[in-house]
Amino acid sequence: MTELLRRVAPVADELGARFAAAGHELALVGGPVRDALLRRAGKDVDLTTDAPPQKVLEIINGWADNVWTIGIEFGTVGLRKNGHELEITTYRSESYDPKSRKPEVSYGTSLVEDLRRRDFAVNAMAARLPGYEFVDPFGGLTDLQRKVLRTPGRPEDSFSDDPLRMMRAARFASQLGFTVAPDVVEAMTNMAGRIEIVSAERVREELSKLVCGAYPREGLALLVDTGLAAHVLPELPKLRLEIDEHHRHKDVYEHSLIVLEQAIAQEENGPDLVLRLAALLHDIGKPKTRRFEAGGRVSFHHHEVVGAKMTRKRLTELRYPKDVINEVSRLVELHLRFHGYGTGEWTDSAVRRYVRDAGPLLSRLHKLTRADCTTRNKRKADRLRRTYDDLEARIDRLAEEEELASIRPEIDGNEIQAILGIKPGPIVGKAYKFLLELRLDRGPIGKETAAEELRRWGVEQGLLSSAEPGADGPAEPAEPTGSSVQHEGEEAES
């Protein structure tokens, strides 16, 4: 065990000797100890001490390569030594005032009491330095072996000290695949409303870690079952639509969790937060758009548009970065677009628009669309897979022929002004949009033909008195839409 703990940060033992020489305690604590015992790689090196922050600064002065004090008001000093980053926090306890979003911090003098105030027993283990003497007063090692999450003391006291710990329980269930002790689940259920006192930013960080965990279904189910999701992600439990004997349709909540798992199975470079959030939220517009149709059918017309707006609102309230909000919302909006493709009737024009609308999200849209097929009918699933294979092949062919990723008209803004005899202004933008739509409809047509079409358009707009002769191209079918009663990947099930 000592050798496992020593691997976390070889410099920690040397630092422990400095603290001992100064008459103070130092211990490796929390996540690094847990992860070392689980033989999981961890980035954090967390240490705890009885020395107050100013004394910590004195002890590490001249030893650390770099020091930062951004968290000193909460008793934390950070340092770097030989490429290792460590954080040292003075023994403490935290508690929330019922009306405050910020924890009140007070310092302690005992390692065991510091461990008692931590979130879970598996995070309440320590190794005294120097020497790595193992300290486990609350049975964390046993819990690791049993893969269970318990609190060191009463869960009600732990969650009262910091309500965010309820979210952490769900996050650790996702990251570690652990079950949560019944008394902890009961306390989470009874105290779910207390999560509202925690800032949106802290909730967002826990939710992101949960969604990007190895077992997100377990964590999300815990949020829903305890009522926490009703406060932090209320759209999720609302997916549990009632299904009566006359109007049968797939459980949207269960479908969304399956889509999430199927999206994860396609990831290539580790967890993709944008893809996972889009998979989880892609159908949140269904409860608002559900309609019962003749013959016992159920429709969710335009749920992708409604869902995109709901996604944007929820992620904004959770203080996600703008790029994440925009990308997830756009994927939700586009997730049904493929299902207008039918069995291959899309024109090249529609394929170009599919690529243009997805933009840099095309790879993620491919994954989300494939994940959204959860039918148990193998023939339907195979047909959908083959159809999407064909679409991707057509995209690749057109991309090679036409440089789809950078579609633009053959005529630029300066040439538009010269042909139409106009100055810079809104009309140039309208003309450019006309030419872009023409490019999407007909593919590469060359500068001469594009100029002819632009002159024809100029006459129609009253900008020119006459236009060069040119043949109108045949009109192509309108782009297919994705809204439908229920696409093949979501067929009614009994």
| Residue 230 CB-density burial (10 A; 0-12 exposed, 13-18 middle, 19+ buried) | middle
Q: What number of other Cβ atoms are within 10 A of residue 473's Cβ? A: 12
Q: What is the mean pLDDT of the chain?
A: 85
pLDDT tops 90 at residue 476: no
Report the pLDDT averaged over residues 417-423. Answer: 87
Kindly report which listed range (170-179, 322-331, 367-376) carries the lowest average pLDDT score. Answer: 367-376
Query: Regarding predicted confidence, which is higher, 340 or 22?
Result: 22
pLDDT confidence tier of residue 393, bands split at 50, 70 and 90:
confident
Query: Regarding predicted confidence, which is higher, 399 or 337?
Result: 337
Q: Convert the pLDDT of each residue in 182-231 to its tens digit.
A: 999 999 999 999 999 999 999 999 999 999 999 999 999 999 999 999 99
Q: Convert the pLDDT of each residue in 126-145 to its tens digit.
A: 999 998 999 999 999 999 99
Kindly report which listed range (224-238, 322-336, 354-368) carries the lowest average pLDDT score. Answer: 354-368
Quote the pLDDT of residue 430. 87
- DSSP readout, 419-456? HHT--SSHHHHHHHHHHHHHHHHH----HHHHHHHHHH
Query: Regarding predicted confidence, which is higher, 93 or 382?
Result: 382
Quote the pLDDT of residue 147. 96
Q: Convert the pLDDT of each residue in 423-471 to its tens digit.
A: 888 888 888 888 888 877 777 788 888 888 888 888 888 888 764 444 3
Q: Convert the pLDDT of each residue in 84-93 to its tens digit.
A: 899 999 997 6
Residue 262's identity, in one-letter code, is Q
pLDDT tops 60 at residue 375: yes
pLDDT confidence tier of residue 481, bands split at 50, 70 and 90:
very low
pLDDT confidence tier of residue 472, bands split at 50, 70 and 90:
very low
What's the 3-state SS for 297-363? CEECCCHHHHHHHHHHHHHHHCCCCHHHHHHHHHHHHHCCHHHHCCCCCCCHHHHHHHHHHHHHHHH
